[in-house]
Chains A and B, each alone.
Chain A
Amino acid sequence: MPAVILQLRKVTVDKRTYSEVNKDILRLMTKTGPGYYAALGIVASLAGILFFLPWAYQIYRGQGVTGLNVPVLWGVYLVNFVFWVGIAHAGTLISAMLFITKTPWRRAIARGAETMTLFALILVALYIFIHMGRPWNAYWTMPYPNQRELWLNFMSPIMFDVFAIGTYTTSSAVFLYFGMIPDLASLQHQTTGWRKKLYSTLSLGWRGTDAQWTVHGRATMFFSSFIMPLVVSVHSIVSWDFALSLVPGYSQTVFAPYFVTGALLSGLAGVMLMFTIMRWAYPFLTKYVTDYHYDRVGALILALSLVWSYFTCMEVFTGLYANTSLELEHLKFKILTLPYFKLYFLMIFCNSILPLSLIFKKLRVSRPFMLFLCIFVLIGMWLERYLIVPNALSRKFLPFMWHDYTPSWVEVSITLGALMFFVSLFMVSIKLFPVISLFEVKEDIGIPMKHEHRKDGA
């Protein structure tokens, strides 16, 4: 049995332990200091200035304000799109995959990861509209008959994408809400005013009877079994946006598993970064997100980074073995030409070399190191997408089509602003909803028994 769980079990579990969990989470949600408001104010205004204003400017002036031009029509916006889909994978990995494999340490961090998933998917949806030249015509993508006979072409991977991401967003939202029902019911008696009203309504009258818990458990099993294959299919389909084309550098059969691995890697790094910052802001969370979580997630990041490194090598070798001038030209541009040479090796350092240090347990449980590592992994994963998306288009087929792409200030600003928007959404949500699952943490602490003891299992 894992060390920390054992340690937790030694604590005599009684009434007080359980009510303390509720008290702690309520404290996180209701006790808001000036520091929080100041941080939220800064982040939200940055989101307004860096994200919404440039986007409005772009809609007003047209796509010409970006660095996009023939033939590089997929730039930083789609890099961000793929990156945020990747971040969205963490919630599912932690809640669904680790649920099915009955990993006990998932419980404390699953809810936070699921919340991240939902907000990341909101950004994904926004980036599609940002990338659209005429976002006011977005309804043209809707599948309904009209007099222009604009029917959907299901042969297009972009169309697969709409369905995959639509399904993923719906499922994550349903799963997140479903898991929250018992917690909202638990909090409704300890709050007053609008919170009480909100939680009473949203908890739908959950009483916690054995019949309800049984069906809750079974439904969780079904949700997990649905969402696990879904998450693999979503990022595979996102990778086919590229891989099903004929562009050298895009058309790689290895892309689907490569993207999925990368997504899980960046997602885990995102979750750990978020929890590290939250633990720093609310020190009492140390009770729930312990060193043991850092240890396990660190090990998982190490494993994923090794798989990712393998796929990165394979990607280069596939190009080399293809031995066509198109592939070689693209590889030369991506790996050996100057600005990209630096970016490529920065990516290798961030995602392959730096995570190797996680082999030492001391580093895995060191929070400053994990903070540093997670930031680097996220940068590395962003670079990976950057080196694939616009770069392959820059060296497309014949030299007369070659064109270098540099993102304009609008694109850079929207990229940073969207991150701020994500952070502000998350900051608001931790005050509205329990970011740590109450009943799962209680289960983790142990069930108070007078005579028998419970064997562990998810």
Chain B
Amino acid sequence: MGKGIIGLYEHADDTIKAAEKLKDAGYRATIFSPVPLVHEIERSRMGERPNYIKWFVLIGCLGGLSFGFLFTLITSAMYVLPRGGRPIFSMTPTLLLSYETTILFGVLWTMFGFLVIARLPVFFKKSYDPGVKVDSFGVLVEDLQTDKHKEIERIMHEFGPTEVRLIENEQP
């Protein structure tokens, strides 16, 4: 990853406004925050993000459901336990077991989807400021040519930042 300019703010609404303005000026701005600002960002001009994780969850659930069904049914087919005329393929345990495996696989795939979409774990260095994980809000613009620096810094300064600086790669 290249260099970037980060602006740190004390207030969440300033941060979002700065990001909106940067977006209007045609830059890709990333907002950092120590708390989730999902509602605020959705309401702003930054817009809602696409919801991809639901597909991971769906795959997990369907996989778990079919695993549960196949596991119980194949087991009863391979090792027949005659129980006084009762059905060999019984519905109750099959449904119960597949209910549990649906949830198990669903949970695991949700976690997997979260890691994929949030791009975790990170193995290379990415730029940010440690403060954004504790008490500051930040806007970052990355991958830019040197001639744009002035304009970005000007936009960031409009909303009263505590700090605007050029950052190099930092350890995630």
Residue of A nearest to B132 (CB): A208
Q: Is the CB of A212 within 8 A of B75?
A: no
B15 to chain A, nearest CB (A): 10
Chain B interface size, as a band, is: 35 or more
Q: Give the residues in chain B near A70, CB-CB below 8 Å.
A: none
Q: Is the CB of B134 within 8 A of A189?
A: yes
A97 to chain B, nearest CB (A): 15
Query: What is the bound-complex CA distance between A153 and B32, given in angstroms?
Result: 52
B68 to chain A, nearest CB (A): 8
| In the assembled complex, A288 has its CB within 8 A of some CB on chain B | no
A15 CB contact (under 8 Å) in B35, B49, B121, B135 = B135
Query: What is the bound-complex CA distance between A277 and B104, given in angstroms?
Result: 34
Q: Is the CB of A159 within 8 A of B36?
A: no
A171 CB contact (under 8 Å) in B104, B133, B135, B171 = B104
Task: Bits for B121-157, please: 1 = Cβ < 8 Å to A, else 0.
Answer: 1110010101011111100000000000000000000
| In the assembled complex, B107 has its CB within 8 A of some CB on chain A | yes
B35 to chain A, nearest CB (A): 5
Residue of A nearest to B130 (CB): A189
Q: Is the CB of B110 within 8 A of A226?
A: yes
Q: Is the CB of A19 within 8 A of B107?
A: no
Using a Cβ cutoff of 8 Å, how many contacts connect chains A and B?
194
B97 CB contact (under 8 Å) in A19, A22, A145, A154 = A154
Query: What is the bound-complex CA distance between A145 and B128, given in angstroms?
Result: 52
| In the assembled complex, B27 has its CB within 8 A of some CB on chain A | no
Given A160-B96, A439-B35, A155–B111 Cβ distance below 8 Å? no
Q: Give the residues in chain B near A443, CB-CB below 8 Å.
A: 35-36
Q: Give the residues in chain B near A174, CB-CB below 8 Å.
A: 107-108, 111
Q: Give the residues in chain B near A64, CB-CB below 8 Å.
A: none
Query: What is the bound-complex CA distance between A451 and B46, given in angstroms?
Result: 18
Q: How many residues of A contact B (CB 8 A)?
A: 68
| In the assembled complex, A293 has its CB within 8 A of some CB on chain B | no
Q: Give the residues in chain A near B13, CB-CB below 8 Å.
A: 449-452
| In the assembled complex, B57 has its CB within 8 A of some CB on chain A | yes
| Chain A interface, >50% SS class | helix
| In the assembled complex, A333 has its CB within 8 A of some CB on chain B | no
Q: Give residues 63-93 of B contacting A (CB, 8 Å).
A: 71-72, 75-76, 78-79, 81, 83, 90, 93
Q: Is the CB of B110 within 8 A of A204?
A: no
Task: Bits for B21-52, please: 1 = Cβ < 8 Å to A, else 0.
Answer: 00000000011111111111100001001010
Q: Give the residues in chain B near A404, CB-CB below 8 Å.
A: none
Query: What is the bound-complex CA distance between A204 and B98, given in angstroms?
Result: 32
| In the assembled complex, B12 has its CB within 8 A of some CB on chain A | yes
| In the assembled complex, A41 has its CB within 8 A of some CB on chain B | no
Q: Give residues 54-76 of A contacting B (CB, 8 Å).
A: none
B168 to chain A, nearest CB (A): 15
Q: Give the residues in chain B near A9, CB-CB below 8 Å.
A: none
A449 CB contact (under 8 Å) in B11, B71, B72, B132 = B11
Task: Bits for A165-207, please: 1 = Cβ < 8 Å to B, else 0.
Answer: 0110011001100100110011001100000000010001111
Query: What is the bound-complex CA distance between A167 and B133, given in angstroms?
Result: 32
Given A149-B79, A439-B35, A219–B53 Cβ distance below 8 Å? yes
B134 CB contact (under 8 Å) in A18, A145, A160, A163 = A18
Q: Give the residues in chain B near A318, CB-CB below 8 Å.
A: none
Given A154-B97, A167-B103, A214–B49 Cβ distance below 8 Å? yes
Q: Is the CB of A170 within 8 A of B133?
A: no
Q: Is the CB of B93 within 8 A of A442?
A: no
Given A167-B101, A205-B120, A189–B133 Cβ distance below 8 Å? yes
